[in-house]
Amino acid sequence: MLVCAPVHVVRAADPPPNVVIVMTDDQRFDMITGRFMPNVDRAFVRGADPRFPNSTTTAFRNAFVPNSLCCPSRTAVLTGDYSHTTGVWTNNPPFGGLASFVSFGDSSTIATDFRSAGYRTAMIGKYLNGYSGGVTMVVPPGWDRWFATKNGAYYDYGVTAAEDGRVRRRYFGSRPADYSTRVFERQASDFVDDSVATGKPFFLYYAFTAPHHPWIPDPRDIGRFADVTSDETGTPMVKDGMLEAAYGTDRAIGDLLDHLPAHTIVLFMSDNGYLWGEEKGRWGSLVSKQWPYNESIRIPMTLTSLDGTFSPAARGNDIVLNVDLRRTLTGAAGITPPFNEGLDLGSDGYTPRTVFPLEHLQSKGHDPPTYCGAREIDPARGRDFMYVRYHVIRDDGTDRYREELYAEPNELRNVADSRPDDVARMRAAAQAMCSPPPPGYGW
């Protein structure tokens, strides 16, 4: 159990900003375009939404997740810590899921930070794998309003809903009005309107199911992108169902913007990326997440101040991670959180990182194997490397460790054998950062 000091609040003279995290599920970084996500592109990428003429936005082009999987990534957002600290390595026990997070200690999160500082808080949508809406009837600490469903829910799902200490079950069926993105949209707008009426600042964690498998679009969007080709997306294949399901989230985000006051900071992101058939080293064509490769670990992330009163110190090309969000967003609100491993991207003392860990525990029966690694982007030294060391268990039960090093963005040619000095340096970085390593992994 992690023991943390109480939250220390430093409140500026100006009223504190409202803060919103908008999170999609499995959305690629390069599919946030004017065609596929028009509201997000206009408001959060280009900063050109006419509703907020004074807005400032930073689109982070090098935003990553060290562990490219739903539950570990969302835990990192909530805590500001890596998997090697939280122990949340996968989506399921014994080394992942809700149970592992509770064992780590869910009493200190970004939600408890904001609530201790006098904010109204809400979690709407998908929480963590292992939390099943309508079945799990526990509301974690820090949330005033709670509306949680299970992973992958689009229709016919239960919800655990709570407000003012009252917890109840709700059920949604198969009508168009029950489509989960539409339901979340109504809940988010109601929470914002209610919060504005109270005059208190609010923190909203707004986490969609879409466009996670099974990639079911809103009925209004079925076939919307059936004509999209690989030439348009620049990918080996086109997952038009993912694009269409994501379009519904964009519509819901547009509705949210109709309700948000200008004095609000919005962080838009995905929990991880997704490979759409890219060829990677010896593994061939991959259609998945969890891998340490670019399309899997890189995510869309933007930070927008709707009234332009907050601007981060971090620039668009800096490496930013999901672990940075707790410290960054609480810092923007004048709140100092307990210690965590992320950076405050808005602080005067901010220094960009040039390298970060990659870490993953193999899910039973699924690739990729367990790995530790490091991703480096250091223009001053001319370095742009991805290093990974896989733990492969042979058929006879013996261990083997396979190293890969890539020095080009498509990650097609493993140059580990021809660049021993870079391998040694990156291996040392991975060993230092991925500590302790995943269960069963050895150096």
Q: Does 373 lie in the same domain as 252?
A: no
Distance CA 370, CA 400 (A): 11
Is 10 domain-assigned?
no
Q: What tokens were used for 401?
A: 């460790």
Is 439 domain-assigned?
no
Is 400 domain-assigned?
yes
Which has the closest alpha carbon to 322: 146, 77, 44, 156? 77
Distance CA 65, CA 270 (A): 10
Q: Can you tell me the mean pLDDT for 198-213?
A: 97
Q: Domain boundary at 353, 383, 399, which?
A: 353
Q: Does 169 lie in the same domain as 236?
A: yes
Residue 200 CB coordination number (10 Å): 14
Q: Can you tell me the mean pLDDT for 407-419?
A: 93
Q: How many CA atoms lie within 13 A of 433 on its CB side?
A: 28
Predicted confidence at residue 177, as pLDDT, reads: 98
Q: Are 34 and 42 in contact (CB under 8 A)?
A: yes
Q: Can you tell me the mean pLDDT for 55-81?
A: 98
Taking 50 as the threshold, does the pLDDT of residue 11 lie above it? Answer: no
The domain containing residue 204 runs over which residues? 16-353
Q: Does 273 lie in the same domain as 172?
A: yes
Is 442 domain-assigned?
no
pLDDT tens-digit series, residues 193-202: 999 999 999 9
Taking 70 as the threshold, does the pLDDT of residue 7 lie above it? Answer: no
Q: Does 304 lie in the same domain as 179?
A: yes
Is 5 domain-assigned?
no
Taking 80 as the threshold, does the pLDDT of residue 213 lie above it? Answer: yes
Q: Does 220 lie in the same domain as 238?
A: yes
Q: Does 372 lie in the same domain as 334?
A: no
Q: Does 183 lie in the same domain as 224?
A: yes
- CATH number of the domain enclosing 41: 3.40.720.10
Element spanning 257, H or E = helix 240-259
Predicted confidence at residue 10, as pLDDT, reads: 37
Distance CA 323, CA 64 (A): 10
Q: Does 284 lie in the same domain as 386?
A: no
Taking 50 as the threshold, does the pLDDT of residue 208 lie above it? Answer: yes
Which has the closest alpha carbon to 128: 203, 68, 78? 78
Total count of domains within the chain: 2
Q: Are 322 and 269 in contact (CB under 8 A)?
A: yes
pLDDT tens-digit series, residues 180-191: 999 999 999 999
Q: Does 191 lie in the same domain as 64?
A: yes
Is 233 domain-assigned?
yes
Q: Does 365 lie in the same domain as 349?
A: no
Q: Domain boundary at 302, 323, 353, which?
A: 353
Q: Domain boundary at 293, 327, 353, which?
A: 353
Which has the closest alpha carbon to 342: 86, 99, 115? 86
Is 11 domain-assigned?
no
pLDDT tens-digit series, residues 339-371: 899 999 999 999 999 999 999 999 887 889 999
pLDDT tens-digit series, residues 25-38: 999 999 999 999 99
Q: Are 187 and 172 in contact (CB under 8 A)?
A: no
Is 8 domain-assigned?
no
Percent of the chain with pLDDT over 90: 91
One-letter amino acid at 438 equals P
Which is it for strands 18-24 and 264-270: parallel, antiparallel or unpaired?
parallel
Q: Does 281 lie in the same domain as 158?
A: yes
Q: Which residues contact 283 (CB under 8 A, 6 or more apart)?
A: 291, 367, 368
pLDDT-derived band at 138 (thresholds 50, 70, 90) equals: very high
Q: Does 372 lie in the same domain as 300?
A: no
pLDDT tens-digit series, residues 242-277: 999 999 999 999 999 999 999 999 999 999 999 999
Which has the closest alpha carbon to 279: 417, 426, 423, 408? 408
pLDDT-derived band at 14 (thresholds 50, 70, 90) equals: confident
pLDDT tens-digit series, residues 153-165: 999 999 999 998 8
Q: What tokens were used for 441?
A: 């992994």
Percent of the chain with pLDDT over 70: 97
